[in-house]
């Protein structure tokens, strides 16, 4: 894979720029803060970041300062003599891959083009400032990933050799757990072995129990025969009792129907009688005449009431007239004979007294007489001239009374009734008829309810049919095998009760035996099942024994394969590292290798022995060793495939001599890799 160019927009310090690259070494030179690291990160982002899944915080760190736009990157590269364009827009979260129809699988395509997976690429081919020595702390994880790459043909890329070995060791341990030492949790072999032993013991017990169960079954069969005989006797008694009850039930139903028929007949007869009575009342009853009498009676009552009021007014007027006359008539005038008698007496006395010389007294008496006569004349004359106005009203009221009486007589005549009392007597008779008619109709409604005479007669006929059908229910069997004698029936019931008690006792014995049989949980099928299970377990044990043997053989071969792969890796690494270690250390150290404990070691010519890099070595020497280790491992992993390397000023701790050696190393690796060196040192300009 060779990068051709990259277009960058809105990526940290770069607003909009395009960079072109060449094969071999590409030196990106510039002072600090000029954007070298930005370009370094942009290439990594273009290769590996997914716009749809990138972390929001990380994406925010890629935006230019003060801008709200996210990056847009377009990377052009050549792979197997064909040009591809990979575009990523972090604003629309879309990826476009020109040159390959399967855009969704571009990540796998990039890994294949690089010749290395993303994780290994970032650890080996991307070296940042002060990042050289980090390989040592992550070497164990790095080793697993390298083995995964190198053993892909053997494992189908499903997992690495180290994981498979661990898995097999764990599997073998789980299978054998508890076989050779006491353990709280046991493996499958121990479980099967324990189950086989338990099953063999239980099988022997089951066979003994099965014999006892068979004996109990024989006893149960004998009791079953006895129970069947009792049940037959019980059925015969139950049939006799049932027939007797049926007979009793039918007789009771017939009695009830007879009673209902009697009540029905009484009701129908009463309804017919009542209906005839109502018809007679309706024939003699004239509702219109009753209404006419009612209206006439009300009018007569009103007229009589008016006559009574007028009579009261007449009495009042007459009394008042008399009182007024009394006020205008003198007592003398009221009785003229008394006045004449007194006048004659007084005149006689006057004559007598005149004979005796009482002339003056006689003269006075004569004056009194004449005065009385005069007064009497005056009052009489005045009374003749006085007219009382109440007399006209009296005459008017008397005429009204006479007129009302005439109206009453007219009403009575129109009704052909002689008197008022006769009218009310006839009205009373008609009302009595009406009341009796209403009562009769209410009684009729109470008797019939929602029914009619026809429906009652239909029910009556239905009851006759039911009664007849009851006779058909009494079959010859019922009549033959039944009784109405309570003593006989009671005796049969006692016999049935005794049989039931006997049956219960036998059933309890059978239940107890069945319980013993069921509690044993042993049957011929169960024994066969246990035997089959024992045979199956033995087959499983043989299978797991064979599987364990196979797994142990595979584990042994895998461990050998792992050691072979790692030794091949170590040989290639040691060969390449040893060629450059002398040059980089001025021939002080002559060899570089991976030691048995998986750490880097160098051969010290003065001490004539290998020194572990964990010992106290100078920082400069460690940087050289780890730099060489990275490039050597990368070369071994790539196996000759062309890839790229991104170096962000990793040689800050190298002196001039070591830098010259590092430049030679880069020239060597640039013959089969495209190298990008981001630096601010002038010493690397001659690499261009």
Q: What is the pLDDT of residues 628-647, one digit of tens each?
A: 777 777 777 777 778 898 88
Nearest to 310 by CA among 210, 191, 397, 231: 397
The stretch 229-257 carries a mean pLDDT of 82
pLDDT (0 to 100) of residue 367: 63
**Distant-in-sequence, close-in-space partners of 499: CB < 8 Å, separation ≥ 6:** 230, 233, 234, 237
Backbone phi and psi for residue 91, each to the nearest 5 degrees, phi listed first:
-80, -50
Whether pLDDT at 294 is above 60: yes
Task: Using the Cα atoms of residue 108, residue 110, residue 113 and residue 118 in order, give the sign of their dihedral.
Answer: negative
Whether pLDDT at 120 is above 80: no
Residue 478: Cβ within 10 Å count: 17
Whether pLDDT at 1 is above 80: yes
Distance CA 83, CA 485 (A): 118
3-state secondary structure of 1: coil
pLDDT (0 to 100) of residue 688: 63
Are 621 and 543 spatial neighbours (Cβ–Cβ below 8 Å)? no
Whether pLDDT at 69 is above 60: yes
pLDDT (0 to 100) of residue 373: 62
Distance CA 323, CA 65 (A): 136
User: What Cα–Cα distance (Å) separates residue 676 from each residue in 41, 127, 131, 688?
Assistant: 12, 10, 16, 11
Token match 């970041």: residue? 49
Strand locations in 72-212 (E): 72-79, 82-89, 94-98, 126-127
Work out the pLDDT band at 129, boundaries 50, 70, 90.
low
Of the ranges 212-216, 527-531, 549-553, 602-606, the best mean pLDDT one: 527-531
**What confidence tens digit (pLDDT) does each residue in 72-86 have?**
999 999 988 899 999
pLDDT (0 to 100) of residue 387: 56
pLDDT (0 to 100) of residue 159: 47
pLDDT (0 to 100) of residue 43: 93
Q: And the tokens for 356?
A: 């005796």
The stretch 183-206 carries a mean pLDDT of 82
User: What Cα–Cα distance (Å) separates residue 512 from each residue in 26, 506, 655?
Assistant: 98, 10, 101
Distance CA 427, CA 439 (A): 18
pLDDT (0 to 100) of residue 347: 67
pLDDT averaged over every residue in the chain: 76
**Distant-in-sequence, close-in-space partners of 193: CB < 8 Å, separation ≥ 6:** 179, 541
Any idea which architecture 1-115+643-688 has in CATH?
3-Layer(aba) Sandwich (3.40)
Chain centre distance of CA 265: 62
Whether pLDDT at 131 is above 50: yes
Are 77 and 86 spatial neighbours (Cβ–Cβ below 8 Å)? yes
Whether pLDDT at 309 is above 50: yes
The residues that bridge with 459 in the sheet, in sequence order, are none
Distance CA 145, CA 162 (A): 10
Q: How many residues does the chain have?
A: 688
Token match 């940042």: residue? 128
Q: And the tokens for 674?
A: 């495209």
Instruction: Choose the weakest-confidence range: 105-109, 148-152, 260-264, 469-473.
Output: 148-152
pLDDT (0 to 100) of residue 153: 38
**What confidence tens digit (pLDDT) does each residue in 508-566 have?**
877 777 777 667 667 777 888 888 888 888 888 888 788 778 777 877 777 776 666 56
Work out the pLDDT band at 330, boundaries 50, 70, 90.
very low
pLDDT (0 to 100) of residue 21: 93
Nearest to 674 by CA among 647, 636, 648: 647
**What confidence tens digit (pLDDT) does each residue in 353-366 have?**
666 665 666 666 66
Distance CA 551, CA 255 (A): 94
**Higher per-residue confidence, 432 vs 353:** 432
Distance CA 557, CA 489 (A): 95
Distance CA 437, CA 280 (A): 10
pLDDT (0 to 100) of residue 342: 65
The stretch 673-685 carries a mean pLDDT of 82
Instruction: Choose the weakest-confidence range: 95-99, 229-233, 253-257, 416-420.
Output: 416-420
Are 11 and 62 spatial neighbours (Cβ–Cβ below 8 Å)? yes
Strand locations in 605-651 (E): 609-612, 643-648
pLDDT (0 to 100) of residue 86: 92
The stretch 254-270 carries a mean pLDDT of 82
pLDDT (0 to 100) of residue 152: 36
For the chain, the domains span 1-115+643-688, 190-284+473-518, 287-447
Work out the pLDDT band at 598, boundaries 50, 70, 90.
low
**What confidence tens digit (pLDDT) does each residue in 545-560 have?**
887 787 778 777 777 7
511's enclosing H/E stretch is helix 486-520
3-state secondary structure of 598: coil
Nearest to 173 by CA among 163, 185, 161: 185
Q: What is the DSSP letter of 594?
A: E
pLDDT (0 to 100) of residue 158: 38
The stretch 458-465 carries a mean pLDDT of 81
Whether pLDDT at 491 is above 80: yes
Work out the pLDDT band at 17, boundaries 50, 70, 90.
very high
Residue 442: Cβ within 10 Å count: 10
Whether pLDDT at 663 is above 70: yes
Distance CA 360, CA 631 (A): 199
- What is the bridge-based pairing of β-strands 600-604 and 609-612? antiparallel
pLDDT (0 to 100) of residue 333: 46
């Amino acid at each position: 894979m060779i990068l051709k160019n990259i277009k960058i927009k809105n990526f940290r310090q770069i607003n909009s720029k395009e960079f072109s690259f060449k094969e071999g070494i590409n030196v990106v030179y510039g002072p600090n803060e000029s954007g070298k690291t930005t370009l370094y990160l942009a290439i990594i982002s273009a290769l590996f970041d997914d716009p749809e899944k990138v972390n929001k915080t990380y994406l925010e760190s890629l935006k230019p300062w003060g801008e709200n736009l996210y990056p847009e990157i377009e990377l052009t590269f050549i792979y197997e003599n064909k040009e591809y364009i990979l575009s990523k827009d972090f604003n629309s979260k879309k990826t476009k891959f020109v040159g390959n129809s399967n855009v969704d699988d571009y990540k796998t395509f990039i890994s294949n083009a690089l010749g290395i997976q993303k994780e290994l690429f970032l650890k080996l081919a991307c070296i940042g400032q002060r990042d050289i020595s980090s390989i040592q702390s992550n070497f164990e994880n790095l080793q697993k990933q390298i083995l995964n790459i190198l053993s892909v043909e053997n494992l189908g890329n499903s997992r690495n050799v180290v994981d498979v070995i661990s898995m097999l060791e764990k599997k073998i341990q789980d299978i054998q757990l508890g076989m050779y030492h006491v353990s709280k949790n046991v493996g499958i072999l121990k479980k099967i072995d324990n189950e086989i032993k338990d099953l063999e013991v239980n099988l022997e017990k089951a066979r003994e129990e099965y014999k006892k169960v068979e004996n109990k079954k024989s006893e149960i069969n004998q009791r079953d025969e006895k129970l069947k005989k009792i049940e037959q006797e019980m059925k015969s008694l139950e049939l006799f009792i049932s027939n007797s009850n049926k007979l009793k039930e039918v007789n009771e139903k017939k009695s009830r129907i007879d009673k209902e028929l009697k009540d029905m007949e009484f009701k129908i007869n009463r309804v017919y009688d009542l209906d005839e009575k109502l018809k007679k009342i309706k024939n003699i009853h004239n509702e219109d005449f009753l209404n006419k009498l009612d209206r006439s009676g009300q009018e007569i009552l009103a007229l009589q009431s008016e006559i009574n009021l007028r009579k009261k007014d007449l009495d009042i007027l007459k009394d008042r007239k008399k009182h007024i006359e009394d006020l205008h008539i003198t007592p003398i005038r009221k009785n003229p004979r008394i006045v004449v008698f007194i006048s004659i007496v007084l005149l006689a006395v006057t004559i007598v007294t005149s004979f005796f010389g009482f002339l003056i007294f006689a003269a006075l008496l004569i004056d009194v007489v004449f005065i009385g006569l005069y007064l009497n004349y005056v009052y009489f004359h005045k009374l003749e001239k006085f007219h009382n106005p109440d007399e006209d009203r009296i005459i008017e009221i008397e005429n009204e009374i006479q007129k009302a009486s005439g109206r009453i007589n007219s009403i009575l005549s129109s009704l052909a009734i002689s008197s008022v009392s006769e009218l009310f007597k006839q009205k009373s008779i008609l009302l009595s008829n009406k009341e009796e008619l209403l009562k009769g109709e209410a009684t009729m409604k109470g008797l019939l309810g929602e029914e009619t005479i026809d429906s009652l007669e239909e029910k009556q006929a239905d009851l006759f049919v039911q009664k007849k059908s009851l006779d058909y229910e009494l079959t010859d069997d019922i009549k033959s095998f039944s009784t109405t004698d309570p003593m006989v029936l009671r005796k049969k019931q006692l016999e049935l009760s005794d049989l039931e008690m006997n049956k219960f006792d036998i059933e309890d014995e059978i239940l107890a035996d069945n319980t013993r049989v069921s509690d044993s949980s042993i049957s011929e099928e169960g024994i066969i099942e246990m035997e089959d299970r024992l045979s199956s377990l033995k087959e499983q044990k043989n299978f797991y024994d064979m599987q364990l043997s196979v797994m142990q053989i595979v584990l042994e071969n895998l461990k050998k394969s792992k050691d072979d792969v790692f030794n091949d890796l170590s040989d290639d690494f040691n060969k390449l590292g040893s060629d450059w270690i002398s040059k980089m250390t001025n021939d002080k150290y002559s060899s570089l290798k991976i030691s048995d404990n998986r750490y880097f070691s160098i051969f010290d010519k003065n001490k004539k022995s290998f020194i572990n890099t964990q010992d106290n070595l100078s920082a400069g020497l460690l940087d050289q060793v780890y730099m060489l280790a990275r490039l050597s491992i990368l070369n071994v992993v790539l196996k000759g495939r062309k890839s790229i390397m991104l170096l962000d000023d990793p040689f800050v701790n190298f002196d001039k001599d070591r830098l010259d050696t590092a430049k030679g190393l880069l020239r060597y690796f640039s013959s089969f890799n495209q190298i990008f060196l981001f630096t601010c040192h002038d010493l690397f300009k001659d690499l261009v």
